[in-house]
Structures are given as structure tokens and as C-alpha cells.
């Protein structure tokens, strides 16, 4: 029977593409995904599958209760977009200026919706309960996972699985990690207060640009000289804003960036060292500062047993050519909050588009839509594999 379900998922390929492209043309930013949430809810309404809306804020939760005894397993897909102008040449490019799906969340949603459609006719034969967990606001902290959990999204759930379309690997490839997979993702802001003045009289100023530039270089020494070389961490200054005129020395500068770590020890050490470097550099120039550090998503740590099940499920999925463990990545994911509450695993579904070299979060981002049915199949196979556990 499950082979029939796999075939039905393949038959829904055109519908997956249609849904994905519709969502791609009508993206919504994190915490503002009202129309997308309504679209998802309407889909379940038409399927006749019970659902709830406004979970946390814009979350949607649907439940397909099987006719046979079993466990309750949640399958998660996110659906928010990014503040990026879509620059690719495609008939389905975003119609919303400055907003686009540049990470594949539209595909995650399309795959999960069509998985629900494929399973609905076989409800009486399904063991346990499938929870279709549609999450808003993955891209921006504090994210949607935590408030959805606080609103009860995991009540009665035994395990959680999720996948991310990944354009770094070919279609037919499934990758996961046995434990640490995604880094914790923090943010910081440093405001430097110097003393402005005429560009021709620097000796009468405290140049915020010079101070900020020195600080950018100084911060890079934290990872290279304070952390164990066998540890992985990142300190990145992403924006540097200062000055308004070519002949005026800026009195203020604002630096914003991110820190990525895999454990609390390195996180705490980096915070302490950042404070030291900021204090030292600004004191040298007789300037003042304000330092704000925001702890973001915790590291995403898979549960080994469930990660093994993902690979087991992948090997049993038609169309999957390779399934293996990989090392952790420095990107962040609020799926980590689910892993703190329930057993489960997160994995990559290869979606590399031949001849397309643009990465995630790029204005020309796109993926191979043939990965959509594979993500749906492997999610359900993971569900079945978990049902077979004692």
C-alpha cells in the first residue's frame, strides 16, 4: 500500500510545482504571512482534514488521525520569505517588490501540503497520527517555532521530523547529521560614540570610522586566537554604517553582525571576548560604546536514533540515490527548538539545479523542483520508520 502512496505523491508533482510557484509569486515576510497562512488553511479545508490556525501567530496545524494504533509524529515545513529583490528570469518570479522566497520555504510548504493530500485517502490504514506543522517566521529571531511550541503545537506529539531543500547537493541526495547539525545563531550591535569634525582636522576628532575599522579587525582575532582550533565558530560583521559626507569625520558608527557557535561554552567565551575587544579599542581612542548582544536560535542537535531512521527511510524511498551523514553547517535553524522538546531529526533534501550557481538567500536563488516529491516521500518514510520503533 505504501508503494501506492509513493506513486500518488509522484502523480501530485504538477500540483506541487503549481503551489510552489504560486507561493513564490506571492511571498510574505516573517511575522506577516497572513495570506500564506490562509492559503494553507484553505487547502486543508478542501481536503477535509481538521486544522487550526493562528498557532503562536500565523502558524497552521493540521492532524490526520490514522485508523490504526500508533504514535503521533509531527512533520514541519516553514513558509516565510526574505527581504530580497527577486532578480531571476523566470515566469514565476516574485510579484512583491523587495520580497522573495530565496531559501526554499515555498517548496517545503508545497511538499507537505501534497503529502497530506496523498495520505488522506489512506487515512484508515495509517498507523498513529500525522501532524502537519506549518511554521511561520523561521528567518528572523525569535522565530516561529518557539511561540508555536508555547501555544501547544507539540502537545501529544512523540517525535518531529523536518527537511530543508538544499541546493548544494544534487537531486536524489539526502543528508543529515547524527548529532550537531546547525549552529546557534546570535546577533549583535555595537554603537561607537566618537567626536565628529572637519575632514581636514582629524586631530580635533575621535573618528568613529577609524575606531570601527580597527574593531572589525580586532574581533576577527577572537575565533583565531581565543578558541580551540578544533572548535567551530564564526564572528561576522555584516553591516558598518557611519558618515554622511565625504569631508566630514563621523562621530558615530554602528556595526551589526552575527555569531555562530555549537555550544554554550564557546558562546559565553565569545561574548566575554567581544566586550573586552570593544572596551579596549574604544578606550584607546577615548571613545564610548554601547554593546547589545542577542542570543538567537540554539544549536540544532539531532537525536541519533531518529537521524538513523531518516537514513533508513531515505534508503527505502524510490528516487533517492544517496543518503549519508555529513558534518555540521554554520547556518542557523529554529527547528532546534523542536529538538529540545521532542526526539526527532532534521535533514537536507538535495535540490541542486543544473547550471544554476546561486546560493541560498541570493537574489537569483532557485531550486530543482524535482526535489519536491522526494522531500514529501522521505518525510512520510521517516514517519513510518518511527512508527515501527518499540
What's the number of domains the chain is made of?
Answer: 2
Domain that holds residue 334: 2-182+299-387
Together in a domain, 39 and 133: yes
Position 26 scores a pLDDT of 98
Residue 213 shares a structural domain with residue 251: yes
**Residues 77 and 162 sit within 8 Å (Cβ to Cβ):** yes
Identify whether residues 50 and 159 lie together within a single domain.
yes
Given phi > 0 = left and psi -120 to 50 = alpha, else beta, which region is 104?
left
First to last CA, the chain: 22
Which of 297, 329, 345 is the endpoint of a domain? Answer: 297
36 with 162, same domain: the answer is yes
Q: How many helices (H) and strands (E) does the chain have?
A: 10, 16
Sorted by sequence, the CB contacts under 8 Å of residue 178 that are 6+ apart come out as 302, 304, 307, 308, 325
- Tell me if residue 166 falls in helix, strand or coil: strand
Say if residue 142 is preceded by a cis peptide, omega within 30 of 0: yes
The dihedral region occupied by 75, where left means phi > 0, alpha psi between -120 and 50, and beta the remainder, is beta
Instruction: Say whether both 173 and 271 belong to one domain.
Output: no
pLDDT of residue 390: 85
Domain termination site, one of 234, 269, 297 = 297
Q: What CATH number does residue 55 fall under?
A: 3.40.630.10
pLDDT band for position 1 (50/70/90)?
confident
φ/ψ of residue 308, rounded to 5: -60, -40
pTM: 0.93
Split at pLDDT 50, 70, 90, the class of 174 is very high
Q: Which of 315, 279, 287, 46 is nearest to 172 (CA)?
A: 315
pLDDT reported for residue 198: 97
Q: Which residue has the cell 493540521?
A: 62
pLDDT on residue 2: 87
DSSP structural state of residue 179: S
Residue 267's CATH number: 3.30.70.360
**Percent of the chain, pLDDT > 70?**
100
Q: Catalytic site residues?
A: 80, 138
The alpha carbon dihedral of 299, 259, 295, 333 has a sign of: negative
Same domain, 145 and 127: yes
Query: At residue 350, does pLDDT exceed 90?
Result: yes
Amino acid at each position: 500500500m505504501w508503494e501506492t502512496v509513493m506513486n500518488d505523491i509522484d502523480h501530485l508533482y504538477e500540483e506541487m510545482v503549481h503551489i510552489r510557484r504560486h507561493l513564490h509569486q506571492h511571498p510574505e515576510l516573517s511575522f506577516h504571512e497572513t495570506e500564506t497562512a490562509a492559503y494553507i488553511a484553505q487547502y486543508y479545508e478542501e481536503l477535509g482534514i481538521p486544522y487550526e490556525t493562528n498557532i503562536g501567530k500565523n502558524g497552521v496545524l493540521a492532524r490526520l488521525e490514522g485508523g490504526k494504533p500508533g504514535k503521533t509524529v509531527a512533520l514541519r515545513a516553514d513558509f516565510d520569505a526574505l527581504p530580497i529583490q527577486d532578480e531571476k528570469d523566470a515566469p514565476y518570479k516574485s510579484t512583491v517588490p523587495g520580497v522573495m522566497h530565496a531559501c526554499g520555504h515555498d517548496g517545503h510548504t508545497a511538499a507537505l501540503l501534497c503529502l497530506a493530500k496523498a495520505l488522506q485517502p489512506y487515512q484508515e490504514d495509517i498507523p498513529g497520527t500525522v501532524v502537519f506543522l506549518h511554521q511561520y517566521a523561521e528567518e528572523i529571531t525569535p522565530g516561529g517555532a518557539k511561540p508555536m511550541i508555547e501555544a501547544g503545537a507539540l502537545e501529544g506529539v512523540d517525535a518531529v521530523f523536518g527537511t530543508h531543500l538544499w541546493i548544494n547537493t544534487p537531486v536524489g541526495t539526502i543528508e543529515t547529521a547524527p548529532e550537531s547539525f546547525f549552529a546557534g545563531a546570535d546577533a549583535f550591535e555595537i554603537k561607537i560614540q566618537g567626536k565628529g569634525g572637519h575632514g581636514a582636522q582629524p586631530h580635533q576628532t575621535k573618528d568613529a570610522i577609524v575606531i570601527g575599522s580597527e574593531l572589525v579587525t580586532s574581533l576577527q582575532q577572537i575565533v583565531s586566537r581565543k578558541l580551540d582550533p578544533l572548535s567551530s565558530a564564526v564572528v561576522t560583521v555584516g553591516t558598518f554604517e557611519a558618515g554622511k559626507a565625504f569631508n566630514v569625520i563621523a562621530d558615530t558608527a554602528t556595526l551589526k553582525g552575527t555569531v555562530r557557535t555549537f555550544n554554550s561554552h564557546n558562546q559565553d567565551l565569545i561574548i566575554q571576548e567581544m566586550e573586552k575587544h570593544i572596551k579596549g579599542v574604544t578606550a584607546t581612542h577615548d571613545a564610548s560604546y554601547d554593546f547589545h548582544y542577542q542570543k538567537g536560535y540554539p544549536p540544532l542537535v539531532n537525536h541519533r536514533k531518529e537521524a538513523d531512521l531518516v537514513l533508513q527511510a531515505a534508503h527505502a524511498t524510490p528516487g533517492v540515490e544517496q543518503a549519508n551523514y555529513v558534518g555540521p553547517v554554520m547556518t542557523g535553524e529554529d527547528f532546534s527548538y523542536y529538538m529540545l522538546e521532542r526526539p526527532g531529526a532534521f535533514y537536507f533534501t538535495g535540490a541542486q539545479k543544473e547550471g544554476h550557481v546561486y546560493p541560498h538567500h541570493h537574489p537569483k536563488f532557485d531550486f530543482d523542483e524535482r526535489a519536491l516529491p522526494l522531500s514529501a516521500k522521505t518525510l512520510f518514510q521517516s514517519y513510518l520508520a518511527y512508527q515501527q520503533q518499540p
